[in-house]
């Protein structure tokens, strides 16, 4: 067999050579030939042509460091903080050795290039760089200190990817770098086009114990999305300078701009010029600032990280032979690293109601009954911390939420087909007794030693609602078993409160203590725990509630209500003030942190509390302000400094295990506020404590898109109508219609409001909610299928429009903030202006070759432009203004190329919804084709015994121009991450439904005939036999709207394979 070698000579200028490895997967020889001032790199391999790495060298390699007289030492040991002139003048590193013997992998040693910067500590002298091709479209760069073990994100949190290293054929991405004596720099670029997606240019790498800096050049006005959790727009305004800080904090009111509850160091960039997207993920849980700057001719993105290692993943977006740079493929590749999201049970897609401030069990039950009376569907009732005795978790207030009454409420909900959820905070009251009895939750935790410790022997004390508290150390080997035991006791299905899900709040973790803090003194000053509301007897009967006729109706209802009003006026403002720790407005005070605080602290711990580089945490008084101190050492040796951003995720994992132990065969539902990549495998999310304002009504769209489309957490939603403050009827009505298209739909508000904001309280809002939930429920299986797909491969269920248009994406589409796709077929375009009734909607149409069509959700008519924009405008779409949109309505539009399954009717609970028949909506593309899918299962089980995936195709027959055929086939049995039986003898109820109608849009002419056939038996030659359902099919054609409706007569089961033929 022959061998092929590619050699390229080049000068020591900033350029990059091509290396092609051919005919071998094992390196035979690497020769460096010095010819004058040029260098040649010679490589040969035994295999098909591949190109992984390419690098430039100019001159002799050296492991020596030469002093650079032009650079100063930036860090002054006598100073209390780092000082610098220009970080871009730091020396960086150079390559001292290269090991490229393994296919798809490159290992390099880097050495400090010249005199150190020491800007925020001492520069690490030597680094190891491991470059790995994890797949054809994914390359990983990991920089570590070979001589000192540094913290890395635990494998239990992120244990992907599962493939690499591999020898991709051919790779989509190429890694370029320079060798000694030039400073090390690298590029990641596309092999097909040469487009550079990451370029460190002349910006040196800085790598210190508590500071890592890496900077890349991007195009001007770059289209960047992600880097959460942070308030702000979905697309970054890169014409300005931006700092995105990743440090989990309690963020009441969602201040703007600010770091919020979680940390997700992933960004996705879309290049308009190439019509390609790519992603970059930094696998690091330490605090960081990501600085994006407008440099005029280009944009720069700069990581400033205060610990850990530099572990970067680059995603090319392999969408197939003609779809490189597909943004949905980027999302799928990211899910290969962090894992796909857990599948929600069907019921969780229903409507949920909660409030902080329900006074007792009676009010909780009465709210449920009121929803029924108002004919507004309610799936799940929630209770906030009000149910707890003295705010101690795993207890019940004996006066207002006695166990017997609470069990009665839960049983009543379950008998009605509804669900119940309660709040569980992480902090455990530091009390051994409560109400004269042992407080077992604290005693058992103390005995097991699972609480966070000070100096490895004293439990750390913080302050939250119960007063002085202890925090579980989720890295303790016994923490999960302890937590599971508490769930078994309190949430026991027979003797306890049989909840269906658990809601985790305050898990950043939140702490009312500033740093430093005297917890006992602070708890006393704050009056914690707060007193419970006055006890009352039932003031009236509750329709439908068991035993309501036997209530001893209190004769002192007016007195009880007045006592409660007095209690609310006195304590509610105090409680909400505590909730606003740090203030609702953005902090503007100095970032000097705790250096100005005079207290005794060991030198080795000071750097963990007060690193020299101060990230822009929106609590200005240091990393430990209003949270657990960052110098706490966990049981396994980790410091809170490194794992702070993991607290919510690790608590979520423990709660998932505890819920799974209670109901081993059912999908656990754990809803958390603070998240990190990996959380989505076992948790859902809600968007936190927002204001009841039009600004935050609009802003929640960006946050929802970030979690679903970028961070792989699709089951997300805001507190509808706002949590803080009082919503107006018009705002709440608009929010109800928008909230119906949040994957997670919950109404929730706070204790200080005089009345709640349940939908039934205002006629306008009640009508809006009924309309919106009716649409949501009819679409539930369509969206459930989208969620199932994301749980399988990471394809986002809620997306920005530019993710579904294909290659014809323009700048307007990339900048849309308030329009989004609910699934890949339905565009949501809400009215967003205060008290407004008009909205201008942009309809992207893509390229001429793959033109996108849009159809009105209500009329089913195609949307056409009033005036086509001129080609020189660069707009690949058109705008249209809609006026007089009622407050109970929301503009919706179908995207072409899709087949959508809808329920024929809605229902009040999802278990009844699953008994409704289907209708199929066909929205053909410009070529007359459409496709879709329907996933059906029991909606609850982890392992599905009976379920199936159906694919639906509508094809305009190319060989028969006057004929179109719709085919529905069962392509596979499927499950949500579980096994499934191949066949089943008895059809379950959720599969025992029919397809009632087919509706086809955009039909240009009246049909001559319509035929429906079901699949019969295969003949002797294994040909598929199709049997006509009826001799004559009932159909209607609307010439004006160009809509064809075909009726099946109700005999066509949803599990049957069938086809519909239309002849013209």
Residue 427 DSSP class: -
pLDDT tens for 683-705 read: 999 999 999 999 999 999 999 99
Tokens representing 678? 């990996």
Cβ–Cβ under 8 Å, residues 911 and 936: no
* pLDDT band at residue 39 under the 50/70/90 scheme: very low
pLDDT value, residue 343: 97
Cβ–Cβ under 8 Å, residues 383 and 356: no
* pLDDT band at residue 168 under the 50/70/90 scheme: low
Domain shared by 205 and 142, yes or no: yes
Q: How far apart are CA 937 and CA 973, in angstroms?
A: 10
Choosing from 829, 862, 891, the residue where a domain stops is 891
- Domain CATH number, residue 1020: 2.60.40.1180
Cβ–Cβ under 8 Å, residues 464 and 382: no
508 is catalytic: yes
Lowest mean pLDDT among 172-181, 471-480, 504-513, 811-820: 172-181
Domain shared by 1013 and 1032, yes or no: yes
pLDDT tens for 351-388 read: 999 999 999 999 999 999 999 999 999 999 999 999 99
Choose, from 208, 333, 336, 505, the residue flagged as catalytic: 505
Domain shared by 859 and 914, yes or no: no
Q: Let me know the angle formed at the C-alpha of 402 by 399 and 405, rounded to the nearest 5 degrees.
A: 125
Tokens representing 571? 């304590």
* pLDDT band at residue 161 under the 50/70/90 scheme: confident
505 is catalytic: yes
Backbone angles phi, psi at 441, to 5 degrees: -60, -45
- 549 Cβ contact list (under 8 Å, min separation 6): 541
Tell me, yes or no, if the pTM score tops 0.75: yes
Best mean pLDDT range from 248-262, 575-589, 941-955: 248-262
Tokens representing 188? 């990641």
Domain shared by 148 and 292, yes or no: yes
Asked, for residue 390, whether it belongs to a domain, the answer is no
DSSP annotation string for 650-701: HHHHHHHHHHHHHSTTB---EEESS--TTGGGT-EE---S-BSSHHHHHHHH
pLDDT tens for 529-565 read: 999 999 999 999 999 999 988 888 878 888 888 888 8
Tokens representing 528? 């914690």
Dihedral through CA 633, CA 637, CA 640, CA 642, nearest 10? 150
Backbone angles phi, psi at 198, to 5 degrees: -150, 130
Task: List 154's β-bridge partners, or say none.
Answer: none
pLDDT value, residue 1006: 95
Domain count, the chain: 4
pLDDT tens for 101-152 read: 988 899 999 999 989 999 999 999 999 999 999 999 999 999 999 999 999 9
Domain shared by 914 and 843, yes or no: no
Asked, for residue 292, whether it belongs to a domain, the answer is yes
Strands annotated E in 374-515: 380-383, 419-424, 428-429, 433-434, 437-438, 453-454, 458-459, 462-464, 467-470, 501-504
Domain shared by 172 and 50, yes or no: no
- 792 Cβ contact list (under 8 Å, min separation 6): 340, 974, 977
Domain shared by 885 and 953, yes or no: no
Domain shared by 826 and 948, yes or no: no
Choosing from 310, 338, 366, the residue where a domain stops is 338
pLDDT value, residue 94: 95
Choosing from 60, 81, 96, the residue where a domain stops is 60
Distance of CA 936 to the CA centre of its chain: 24
Domain shared by 811 and 919, yes or no: no
Domain shared by 109 and 42, yes or no: no
Choose, from 386, 508, 758, 810, the residue flagged as catalytic: 508
Domain shared by 902 and 870, yes or no: no
Q: How far apart are CA 1044 and CA 922, in angstroms?
A: 10
- By C-alpha distance, which of 229, 235, 224 is closest to 818? 235
- 45 Cβ contact list (under 8 Å, min separation 6): 21, 22, 23, 24, 25, 26, 27, 28, 103
Cβ–Cβ under 8 Å, residues 918 and 993: yes
- Domain CATH number, residue 301: 2.60.40.1760
Asked, for residue 724, whether it belongs to a domain, the answer is no
Please return the burial class of 51, using the count of CB atoms within 10 Å of its CB with bins 0-12, 13-18 and 19+: middle
Distance of CA 453 to the CA centre of its chain: 32
**What is the per-residue burial (b if ≥16 Cβ within 10 Å, else e) of 493-517?**
eeebbbbbbbbbbbbbbbbbbbbeb
- 67 Cβ contact list (under 8 Å, min separation 6): 114, 115
- By C-alpha distance, which of 438, 172, 201 is closest to 321? 172
Biggest distance spanned by C-alpha atoms of the chain: 104
Residue 306 DSSP class: S
Tokens representing 128? 């190891």
User: Which residue's entry shows tokens 């109404």?
Assistant: 747
**Structural domain of residue 7, as residue ranges?**
1-60
Choose, from 182, 269, 498, 689, the residue flagged as catalytic: 689
Asked, for residue 378, whether it belongs to a domain, the answer is no
- 301 Cβ contact list (under 8 Å, min separation 6): 215, 216, 218, 222, 224, 267, 290, 291, 292
For 586, the enclosing helix (H) or strand (E) is none
Asked, for residue 747, whether it belongs to a domain, the answer is no
User: Which residue's entry shows tokens 């009924």?
Assistant: 770
pLDDT value, residue 572: 86
Q: How far apart are CA 114 and CA 183, in angstroms?
A: 9
Domain shared by 157 and 55, yes or no: no
Asked, for residue 990, whether it belongs to a domain, the answer is yes
* Residue 414 Cα distances to 348, 376, 411, 421, 669, angstroms: 14, 18, 5, 12, 16
689 is catalytic: yes
Asked, for residue 803, whether it belongs to a domain, the answer is yes
Q: How far apart are CA 177 and CA 186, in angstroms?
A: 4
Residue 263: pLDDT over 80: yes
């Amino acid at each position: 067999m022959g061998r092929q070698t590619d050699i390229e000579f080049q000068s020591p200028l900033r350029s990059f050579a091509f290396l092609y490895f051919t005919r071998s997967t094992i390196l035979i020889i690497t020769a460096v030939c010095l010819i004058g001032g040029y260098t040649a790199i010679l490589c040969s391999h035994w295999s098909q042509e591949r190109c992984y790495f390419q690098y430039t060298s100019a001159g002799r390699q050296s492991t020596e460091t030469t002093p650079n007289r032009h650079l100063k030492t930036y860090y002054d040991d006598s100073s209390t903080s780092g000082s610098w002139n220009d970080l871009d003048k730091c020396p960086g590193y150079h390559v001292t050795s290269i090991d490229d013997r393994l296919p798809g992998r490159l290992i390099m040693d880097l050495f400090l290039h010249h005199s150190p910067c020491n800007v925020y500590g001492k520069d690490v002298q030597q680094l190891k760089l491991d470059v790995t091709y994890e797949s054809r479209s994914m390359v990983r760069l990991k920089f570590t200190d070979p001589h000192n073990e540094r913290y890395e994100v635990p494998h239990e949190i992120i244990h992907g990817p599962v493939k690499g290293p591999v020898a991709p054929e051919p790779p989509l991405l190429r890694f370029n770098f320079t060798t000694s004596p030039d400073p090390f720099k690298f590029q990641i670029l596309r092999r097909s086009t040469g487009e550079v997606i990451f370029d460190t240019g002349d910006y040196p790498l800085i790598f210190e114990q508590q500071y890592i800096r890496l900077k890349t050049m991007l195009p001007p006005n770059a289209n960047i999305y992600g880097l959460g959790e942070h308030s702000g727009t979905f697309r970054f305004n890169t014409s300005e300078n931006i700092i995105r800080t990743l440090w989990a904090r309690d963020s009441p009111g969602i201040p703007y701009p600010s770091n919020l509850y979680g940390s997700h160091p992933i960004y996705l960039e879309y290049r308009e010029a190439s019509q390609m997207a790519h992603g970059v993920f930094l696998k690091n849980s330490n605090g960081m600032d990501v600085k994006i700057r407008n440099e005029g001719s280009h944009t720069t993105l700069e990581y400033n990280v205060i610990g850990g290692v530099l572990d970067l993943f680059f995603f090319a977006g392999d969408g197939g032979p003609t779809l490189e740079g597909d943004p949905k493929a980027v999302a799928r590749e990211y899910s290969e690293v962090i894992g796909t999201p857990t599948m929600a049970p069907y019921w969780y897609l229903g409507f949920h109601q909660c409030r902080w401030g329900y006074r007792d069990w009676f009010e909780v039950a009465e709210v449920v009954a009121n929803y029924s009376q108002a004919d507004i569907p309610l799936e799940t009732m929630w209770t906030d911390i009000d149910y707890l005795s003295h705010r101690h978790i795993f207890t019940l207030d004996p006066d207002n939420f006695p166990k017997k009454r609470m069990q009665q409420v839960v049983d009543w909900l379950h008998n009605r087909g509804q669900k119940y959820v309660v709040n569980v905070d992480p902090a455990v009251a530091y009390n051994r007794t409560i109400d004269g009895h042992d407080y077992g939750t604290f005693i058992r935790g103390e005995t097991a030693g699972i609480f966070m410790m000070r100096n490895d022997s004293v439990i750390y004390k913080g302050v939250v609602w119960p007063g002085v508290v202890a925090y579980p150390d989720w890295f303790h080997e016994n923490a999960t078993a302890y937590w599971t035991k508490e769930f078994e006791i309190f949430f026991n299905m027979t003797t306890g409160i049989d909840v269906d899900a658990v809601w985790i709040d305050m898990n950043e973790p939140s702490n009312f203590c500033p740093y430093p803090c005297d917890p006992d003194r602070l708890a006393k000053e704050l009056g914690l725990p707060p007193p419970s509301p006055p006890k009352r007897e039932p003031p009236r009967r509750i329709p439908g509630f068991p035993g309501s006729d036997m209530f001893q109706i209190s004769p002192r209802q007016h007195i009880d209500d007045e006592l409660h009003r007095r209690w609310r006026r006195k304590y509610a403002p105090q409680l909400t003030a505590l909730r606003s720790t740090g203030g609702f407005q953005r902090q503007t005070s100095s970032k000097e942190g705790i250096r100005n605080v005079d207290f005794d602290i060991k030198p080795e711990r000071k750097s963990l509390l007060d690193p020299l580089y101060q990230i822009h945490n929106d609590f200005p008084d240091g990393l430990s302000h209003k949270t657990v101190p960052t110098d706490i050492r966990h049981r396994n040796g980790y410091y809170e400094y490194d794992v702070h951003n993991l607290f919510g995720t690790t608590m979520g994992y423990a709660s998932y295990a505890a819920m799974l132990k209670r109901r081993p065969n059912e999908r656990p539902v754990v809803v958390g506020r603070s998240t990190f990549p990996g959380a989505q495998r076992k948790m859902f999310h809600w968007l936190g404590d927002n204001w009841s304002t039009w600004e935050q009504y609009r802003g929640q769209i960006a946050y929802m898109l970030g979690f679903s489309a970028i961070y792989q957490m699709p089951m997300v939603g805001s507190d509808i109508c706002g949590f803080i403050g009082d919503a107006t009827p018009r705002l709440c009505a608009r929010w109800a219609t928008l909230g119906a298209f949040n994957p997670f739909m919950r109404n929730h508000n706070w204790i200080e409001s005089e009345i709640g904001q349940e939908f039934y309280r205002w006629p306008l809002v009640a009508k809006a909610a009924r309309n919106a939930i009716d649409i949501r429920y009819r679409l539930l299986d369509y969206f459930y299928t989208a969620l199932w797909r994301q749980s399988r491969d990471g394809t986002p269920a809620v997306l920005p429009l530019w993710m579904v248009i294909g290659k014809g994406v323009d700048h307007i589409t990339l900048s849309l903030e308030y329009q989004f796709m609910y699934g890949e077929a339905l565009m949501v375009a809400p009215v967003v202006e205060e008290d407004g009734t008009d909205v201008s909607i942009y309809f992207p149409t893509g390229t001429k070759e793959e033109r996108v069509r849009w159809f009105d959700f209500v009329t089913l008519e195609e949307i056409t432009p009033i005036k086509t924009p001129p080609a020189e405008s660069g707009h690949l779409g058109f705008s249209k203004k809609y006026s007089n949109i009622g407050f109970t309505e929301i503009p919706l539009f179908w995207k072409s190329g899709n087949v959508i399954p809808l329920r024929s009717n809605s229902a009040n609970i999802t278990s009844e919804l699953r008994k409704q028949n289907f209708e199929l909506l066909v929205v053909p593309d410009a070529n007359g084709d459409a496709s879709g899918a329907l996933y059906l299962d029991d909606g609850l089980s982890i392992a599905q015994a009976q379920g199936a995936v159906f694919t639906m195709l509508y094809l305009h027959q190319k060989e028969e121009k006057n004929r179109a055929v719709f085919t529905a086939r069962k392509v596979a049995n499927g499950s949500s991450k579980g096994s499934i039986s191949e066949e089943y003898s008895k059809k379950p109820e959720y599969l025992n439904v029919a397809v009632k109608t087919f509706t086809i849009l955009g039909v240009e002419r009246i049909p001559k005939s319509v035929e429906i056939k079901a699949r019969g038996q295969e003949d002797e030659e294994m040909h598929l036999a199709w049997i006509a359902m009826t001799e004559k099919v009932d159909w209607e054609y609307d010439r004006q709207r160009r809509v064809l409706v075909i009726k099946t007569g109700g005999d066509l089961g949803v599990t049957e394979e069938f086809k519909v033929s239309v002849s013209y």
